Amino acid sequence: MKNNQIPFASHSKTFNARFQLVNLISVILFFGFGLCFGMILTFHLKNVSFNLQFTQFSLSTDTEIDNHGVFSSPPPPPPKIRLENYIHPTEVMHDLSDRELIWRASMVPKVAQYPFDRTPKVAFMFLTRGSVLLSPLWEMFFKGYNGLFNIYVHSSGPPSNWTEPEVHSVFHGRRIPSKDVEWGKVSMIEAERRLLANALLDFSNQRFVLLSETCIPLFNFTTVYSYLINSNHNFVESYDLPGPVGRGRYSSKMYPTVKITEWRKGSQWFEMNRDLAIEVISDTIYFPVFQDYCNGSCYADEHYLPTFVTRKFGGQNANRTLTFVDWSKGGPHPTRYLRYDVTKEFLEKLRGDMNCEYNGKSNQACHLFARKFTPHALDRLLRLAPKVMQFNP
């Protein structure tokens, strides 16, 4: 009986041992599977978390949430500053002081060769007491020649004197920051320097002509443009005049910067090239003397430029003005032309003065412009201009 029970116990122990081994292997396999699953799950969750954070970051950079919780696009980046912004400013209004403006305009590139295709332009600078009264005539003069000129208007007096031209006008948006000007005072020179400085900001401007609201052109645009651009000289009238209205206006307080033998007189209506324009606005020697001592009956506008140009740049000056003015009747103001004065014969006479030298050649036109024409003469000027001045109709 005992012998029969021994095999049964032996088989039972063997079975238990095998069952425990199977259990151990199962536990090991289950543990290994769990470990692998855990590692895979952990890696996957990290990936999901990173992607979620990256997506949130992308959303935060691409959109913004306003006060109402609504997503909105961020403002566009600021426009890049191009070379065009420096060399061809389109807006003439600014908040620069005169000192800041002149400092900026007096900058001259050291590299002589331009990094762009430069078409030289003429800067037409109008010094007025209000709107440009004869603007319809000038509109006719400028028609068809965009890209060859720029216009600048310095208008003094109360704001009511100035009426902004219509959008299609060449004068629209061309009024520069202006200040009050008193006739015959230094403020007249300050206004001229302000016009020059604003015009110098455009690097394409090569010639600079000063005009008033009563000026008219005597020739068509192509003739005027060619005459100015191809000239080897500046046109600043300058002469020595004894007597009370010449040397009699000199103040000994200007000595020694300005000597009486250097004192000159001339018309304020000038035309000059870019180099001289830069020298005029950059003058810190002669101009302050005129500011301090050319007051009252000195009439600074008739003496500053003639004296300064003759003293410093006389060899490049033609010593004449391109603007015709009739002083034959005497008095403090020149002849004014009304409607009945404007005839075909009269305009042809103004154009026909061919007794001046130009680039070494004699018998050339003396004047390109004329003043003083009143608004009452405008209708006749508009009617005669296409025929006499050969304007575009």
| HSE, side-chain direction, 13 A CA sphere, residue 391 | 20
CB atoms closer than 10 angstroms to residue 196: 25
Is residue 332 reached through a cis peptide bond, with omega within 30 degrees of 0 on the bond before it? no
- Joined together, the tokens standing for residue 149 give 């000129």
Which phi-psi region, left, alpha or beta, contains residue 241 (left: φ > 0; alpha: ψ -120 to 50)?
beta
| HSE, side-chain direction, 13 A CA sphere, residue 11 | 5
- Taken in order 283, 287, 289, 291, the sign of the CA dihedral is negative
Q: Whole-model pTM?
A: 0.80
Residue pLDDT, tens place only, 227-240 = 999 999 999 999 99
Contact 279, 249 (CB under 8 A): no
- Joined together, the tokens standing for residue 372 give 């003083």
Spell out the per-residue pLDDT of the chain, length 393, in tens. 444 444 444 545 554 555 566 566 665 666 666 666 666 655 554 554 444 444 444 444 445 555 555 556 777 777 777 777 767 787 899 999 999 999 999 999 889 888 888 899 999 999 999 999 999 999 999 999 999 999 999 998 777 778 899 999 999 999 999 999 998 899 999 999 999 999 999 999 999 999 999 999 999 999 999 999 999 999 999 999 999 999 999 999 999 999 999 999 999 999 999 999 999 999 999 999 999 999 888 999 999 999 999 999 999 999 999 999 998 887 778 899 999 999 999 999 999 888 999 999 998 999 999 999 999 999 999 999 988 988 876
Q: Please state at what angle helix 186-200 crosses helix 274-282, rounded to 10 degrees.
A: 130
Residue with tokens 């310095």: 154
Burial of 192 (0-12, 13-18, 19+ CB in 10 A): buried
Mean pLDDT rounded to a whole number for the chain: 85
**Separation in Å, CA 296 to CA 184, 192, 250, 265, 349:** 8, 19, 12, 16, 37
Q: Kind and range of the H or E element at 53?
A: helix 2-62
- What pLDDT, on a 0 to 100 scale, did the predictor assign at position 64? 52
Give the pairing of strands 205-212 and 361-364: unpaired
Q: Which residue, among 338, 234, 244, has the nearest Cα to 279 in the 3D structure?
A: 234
Residue pLDDT, tens place only, 284-336 = 999 999 999 998 889 999 999 999 999 999 999 999 999 999 988 877 788 99
DSSP 3-state assignment of 226? helix
Residue type for 259, please? K
